[in-house]
Amino acid sequence: MVNKLIASVLPLLPKKFVWLFSKRYISGETLEDAVSASKGLAAHGVRVTIDHLGEYIRELSQAEEVKAVYLSMIERFENEGISATYSLKPSSFGLLLDFETCYSHVREIIEKAKEYNSFVRIDMEDSSCVDAEIGLYRRLLNEFPLNVGLVVQAYLKRTPKDLEYLASIHSIETPVNIRLCKGIYVESPEIAIKDRKAINKQFIEALDFLFRKQVYVGIATHDRELTNSAEELIEQYSLGEGDYEFQMLYGVTPELRTNLVKKGHKMRVYVPFGKEWFGYSTRRLKENPKLAFYIIKALFKHG
């Protein structure tokens, strides 16, 4: 309860204070910071996916600016020879303002990634975006079957049906590629599961379903219970490196990450950067109030 109280209060405090928490989970504000962090991870056998922070733009003109960042980002990482993919939030390209404009911008980014035989992941956002983002993915999958993927959130009650649909369009010609995560947006109990055990159950059922349908999965979790269950399924289905990978957030559970890499699992870390770090950080805090303890500890340790 104390941690939850702290977590609810911290977003109201000065940004310099919240940065005590944030700096561990964000590579920095600039592209240079993301490049540096990615090189450090690569030295330990870890791949990366890069995300420019920011979402829910209010004017379509902002989408042009975000697109320019992504095009520059792809050029930089590919020229540096860093093994990277790219994650983007459609709301930062105007998804909720004009679908066709968003599609056009995202398509241009994926086309750029395709030039380097690289890959773009469409992040899943709150429930107001789900249908549109699945539709966006479906349309782009037809054009770029090897260069685009989607995120699915296990805590949504609609997820099993969404996975059935995605499995129905999966084929050799258009292979579906999914990042499976728990989900972090605050949703009503009418549409989202709230109990941790029930979320974990749906996560594993979803993972088992995707493995049976031979869909490539990015297993995105820091929950040791889930990584253990995932490893059991991987062994059960005799899966290889080309069938799955584990994915984790920058700065979160590095010990578990290292352990999975040592076991020979493919690992990819989500590396965020940008000036819009505040919203991302406070969402992470609401998702895991226990992190508040570490913020208070840092405050007393560093002053």
Residue 248 has pLDDT above 70, yes or no: yes
Catalytic residue among 121, 162, 179, 268: 179
Which residues, at least 6 apart from 177, have a Cβ–Cβ distance to it below 8 Å?
A: 119, 148, 149, 150, 215, 216, 218
As a residue count, the chain comes to 303
Residues in CB range of 33: below 8 A, 6 or more apart: 27, 273
**Cα-only R_g, the chain:** 19
> Among this protein's residues, is 123 annotated catalytic?
yes
β-strand 177-181 against 148-153: which pairing, if any? parallel
pLDDT band at 143 (very low <50, low <70, confident <90, very high): very high
Tokens describing residue 10:
């911290």
d(CA 145, CA 279): 32
233, 13 Cβ separation under 8 angstroms: no
Q: How far, in Å, CA of 75 to CA of 275, rounded?
A: 20
CA 42, distance to chain mean position in Å, is 18
Q: How is domain 30-273 classified at the CATH fold level? A: TIM Barrel (3.20.20)
Measured CA to CA, the distance from residue 38 to residue 42 in angstroms comes to 6
| Of the candidates 174, 257, 192, the residue with the CA atom closest to the CA atom of residue 220 | 257
- Active site annotation includes 208: no
Q: Which is the catalytic residue, given 123, 162, 257, 284?
A: 123
Q: What whole-number distance in Å separates Cα of residue 82 and Cα of residue 76?
A: 9
Q: d(Cα 122, Cα 152) in Å, to the nearest integer?
A: 10
Percent of the chain's residues with pLDDT above 70: 87
- Band (43; pLDDT cuts 50, 70, 90): very high
Torsion of CA 17, 298, 282, 257, to 10 degrees: 150
Tokens 């292979």 belong to: 175
Res. 298: pLDDT tops 70:
no
Measured in whole angstroms, how far is the alpha carbon of residue 144 from the centre of its chain? Answer: 20
Residue 81 near residue 75 (C-beta atoms within 8 A) = no
Is 163 a residue whose pLDDT tops 90?
A: yes
Top pLDDT among 297 and 222 is at: 222
**Are 142 and 109 spatial neighbours (Cβ–Cβ below 8 Å)?**
no
| pLDDT tens per residue, range 199-221 | 999 999 999 999 999 999 999 99
Contact predicate 79/73, CB 8 Å: no
Q: What is the pTM of this model?
A: 0.90
pLDDT at 2 over 60: no
pLDDT value of position 56: 87
Task: With a cut of 80, say whether residue 15 has pLDDT above it.
Answer: no
List CB contacts of 22: < 8 A, sequence separation 6 or more.
277, 278, 280, 281
- Contact by Cβ (8 Å): 291, 21: yes
Minimum mean pLDDT range among 74-83, 165-174, 189-198, 284-293: 284-293
pLDDT value for 295? 54
Q: What is the pLDDT, as a whole number, of residue 303?
A: 47
Q: What is the pLDDT of residue 88?
A: 97
pLDDT 10s digits, 16-41: 767 777 788 899 999 999 999 999 99
Of 56-70, 105-119, 146-160, 284-298, the range with the lowest mean pLDDT is 284-298
Q: How confident is the model at residue 276 (pLDDT cuts 50, 70, 90)?
A: confident
Confidence of residue 184 (pLDDT cuts 50, 70, 90): confident
Q: Residue range 230-239: average pLDDT?
A: 98
Instruction: Please work out, in degrees rounded to the nearest 5, the angle formed at the alpha carbon of residue 206 by the alpha carbons of 203 and 212.
Output: 140
Reported confidence tier of residue 95, pLDDT bands at 50, 70, 90: very high
More confident residue, 286 or 256: 256
Task: Say how many Å lie between the first and final Cα of the chain, rounded.
Answer: 24
Q: Which pLDDT score, from 0 to 100, does residue 179 have?
A: 98
Q: What is the average pLDDT value for the chain, to the nearest integer? A: 91
The SS3 call for residue 182 is coil
User: For the segment 84-93, what is each residue's pLDDT rounded down to a tens digit?
Assistant: 999 999 999 9
> Which residue, 275, 281, 247, 287, is CA-closest to 92?
275
